């Protein structure tokens, strides 16, 4: 029998009412009560907030953390523990929590701090995320040259997401179309996973070093390396903020180690769709 991996969804998958169908599970209720004690009102916003409210980074990240972890707990009850996990961008924090690296309290405080830093960054640097579809990664990388854009998420053979300055959005979109691709703006409030986030990444690392990090109970694949976490966990998680998400490579490495079933934990089926398309 093949190995099973849980995939923790990332920013952009948020929808009103997410996790409402699992909120009454005892383990989930305990998690939500903890989150409320740290950030009052966050659960209500997750369950009944508008799409516009949930799209702001300051709220997206803590609510996605809660939804991902809630669905992971529900799936673990149904299927048993997975053999390994991977979180896409913000999903890496609940993945580390699920694997026992961070306690629920420390992980939630970490995601709140991450959201604060990245929300402040979106006020400092105006930008967006654009998915370039039907083009190879090397073609998209070439299109980024000289346009103030950065490859940010390697999602599949023919889908690469780019972090794009606001003033470069029109030019980059035009270049994608000219190259025979399709450009789709994502439902996020800024440009992420690019070198411009280095100051925020350094601040996040300082915060992470105040927390206790334990050995994982299962392999946690890092966005930064596409390999299981090892060495300096705080540095790896912090550098993820200003580095590309290597999802395609991660999935290939998981499959090479015997993973045959990918279970998405979080709202929607974006990640399993990417796995199927390759």
Q: Are strands 159-165 and 127-133 parallel, antiparallel or unpaired?
A: antiparallel
- Which DSSP symbol is given to 257? T
* Catalytic residue of the set 89, 189, 201, 243: 89
**Any catalytic annotation for residue 89?**
yes
End-to-end CA distance of the chain: 22
Distance set, CA 154 to CA 31, 87, 127, 138 (Å):
31, 14, 19, 10
**Any catalytic annotation for residue 150?**
no
* Catalytic residue of the set 37, 48, 150, 193: 193
Residue 41 burial by Cβ neighbours in a 10 Å radius (0-12, 13-18, 19+): exposed
C-alpha to C-alpha distance for 29 and 164, rounded to whole angstroms: 38
Residues present in the chain in total: 278
DSSP lists the bridge partners of residue 56 as none
Catalytic residues: 89, 193
């Amino acid at each position: 029998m093949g190995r099973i991996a849980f995939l923790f969804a990332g920013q952009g998958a948020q929808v009103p009412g997410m996790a409402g169908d699992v909120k009454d599970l005892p383990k989930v209720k305990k998690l939500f009560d903890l989150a409320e004690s740290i950030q009052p009102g966050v659960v209500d916003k997750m369950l009944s907030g508008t799409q516009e409210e949930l799209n702001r980074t300051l709220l997206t990240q803590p609510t996605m953390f809660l939804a991902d972890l809630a669905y992971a707990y529900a799936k673990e009850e149904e299927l048993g523990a997975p053999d390994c996990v991977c979180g896409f961008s913000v999903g890496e924090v609940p993945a580390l929590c699920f694997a026992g690296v961070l306690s629920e309290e420390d992980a939630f405080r970490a995601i709140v701090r991450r959201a604060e830093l990245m929300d402040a960054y979106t006020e400092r640097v105006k930008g967006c995320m654009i998915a370039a579809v039907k083009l190879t990664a090397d073609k998209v990388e070439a299109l980024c040259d000289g346009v103030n854009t950065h490859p940010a998420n390697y999602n599949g053979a023919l889908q690469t997401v780019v972090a794009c300055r606001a003033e470069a959005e029109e030019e980059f979109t035009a270049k994608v179309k000219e190259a025979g691709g399709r450009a789709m703006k994502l439902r996020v409030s800024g440009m992420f996973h690019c070198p411009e986030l280095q100051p925020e990444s350094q601040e996040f690392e300082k915060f992470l070093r105040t927390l206790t990090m334990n050995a994982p109970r299962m392999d946690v694949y890092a966005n930064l390396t596409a390999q299981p976490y090892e060495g300096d966990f705080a540095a790896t998680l912090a550098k993820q903020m200003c580095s590309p998400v290597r999802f395609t490579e991660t999935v290939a490495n998981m499959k090479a180690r015997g993973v045959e079933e990918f279970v998405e934990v979080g709202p929607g089926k974006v990640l399993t769709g990417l796995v199927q398309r390759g």
